[in-house]
Amino acid sequence: MFENEIEKIIFSVEKKSFSGKQHISFCDIKALNIPDCIKNYFHYELENKYNKEITHFERESKFKYSIPKVKQLQKETKSILFLNYSFQKNEFLEIFEDGLNLMINFLVRPQWTLENFIFGNSDSIPLTTVLQKFDIFSHYSYYKNILSKIFEKQTQNFISKENFKFFISKIDEEYFKQKFAKEIFQHIKPIFEILNFETNLNTVPNKALTIFFSEKQINSVVKILNDKIENENKLNLSEDELLEILNYVETTEGCFVSQIVSESFEEQKEEIFETRNEFKIDEEILNSSTTESEIEALLKKPVNEELNFDKMQLDIPIYEVPQEEIKENLSVRDIRFFIGEKLRRKFIRKIFRKNENDYETSIDSLNQCQSWSEAKNNVMTILNNYGIDPYNSHIANVFVATIKSRFAE
């Protein structure tokens, strides 16, 4: 969806950052005029590189690196190493593109992005890991603020992916229920900022806003946005046009969460609590106003529950094949249908180490699988063979989600 915008941004940043140079330090990256969320992503990549290297080194060493003074010195040294780390041009551009894609996905549909980025292929993960992975995102801080206070009161150390997905959705519903038009507009402004920081434009694709409000289940706004696409061929909206729509909905309906959503939640809630009662929701909070301190009381009393991996609902990224098109073509056996040309090149480069033959052979092998359960094992073998961490790699998450789409029911 944002291919043109992303290409323009990358071209502009490359031109400004590498004038006659072939490398750039992290210290210089921090000084660049790029969004802070992208700088955070570079720091995240450095953390991964450093942790893998130091973990391997300490494992092989006979010295005691666990001594507190050594740990403190390592922390100070790490900061210096990070600032002086030099990214080659191609490495910088790949990380920049990955970070830009991740952050745009997060800003447009945060629930889906958080679910896949934080959990990857895991059924459940430690609560501390959930909060740590939030650190990469500089926007929508209310998610972490609320969850961190909730987690403090839990005796259970893990949360399942399915429950995380449900409660993030519920937090959004409660958070937006009492918001005014201007507050929601301010919430969305980062989407305009990241897509236009290298241009003089002040518009974003209408479809992006539709996806944002659809995920929040604010159906009144979604309907107007769809009407503008279908009846007015309005493919892009400015900030003023969006604010006008939000003010109209506030004036006519007075609430940005439809009654249909609330009713569906009441039906869904009973089923969820009967079959998957990991955290119970305080009944007084469900119908109250929606400050962070109130929403933090959403979760109580944990119990163990394993999530069936095969029932996980994984989507593919918003810039690839539309979900409607996938559902119409589930009879297609070849997985290649679900992989756009740009994503194909990225898989070959980042997973298969630029070996196109290995990529084609692996896809042929996956095409022979009769179920996601069978394909899942093949996918994990492929990632392991190429040294890709399936739990801490964005491209691995995209690869798994794409293959999963082929076996959707």
Identify the helix (H) or strand (E) that includes residue 343.
helix 341-350
User: Each residue of 139-180: pLDDT tens digit?
Assistant: 999 999 989 888 888 778 899 998 899 889 888 888 887 788
Q: What is the mean pLDDT of residues 292-321?
A: 38
Q: DSSP for 212-228, please give it.
A: HHHHTT-HHHHHHHHHH
Residues 113-143 pLDDT 10s: 999 999 988 889 999 999 999 999 989 999 9
The better pLDDT of the pair 49, 298 is held by 49
When comparing pLDDT for 83 and 8, which is higher?
83
Q: Name which residue leads in pLDDT, 248 or 294.
A: 248
Look up tokens 């005029």; give the residue. Answer: 33
pTM greater than the 0.75 cutoff: no
Task: Name the residue among 195, 188, 191 with its Cα closest to residue 218.
Answer: 188
Segment (H or E) for 128: helix 127-134
pLDDT tens figures, 376-397: 888 988 988 888 877 667 788 8
Statement: residue 183 has pLDDT above 50: yes
Q: Percentage of the chain surpassing pLDDT 90?
A: 34
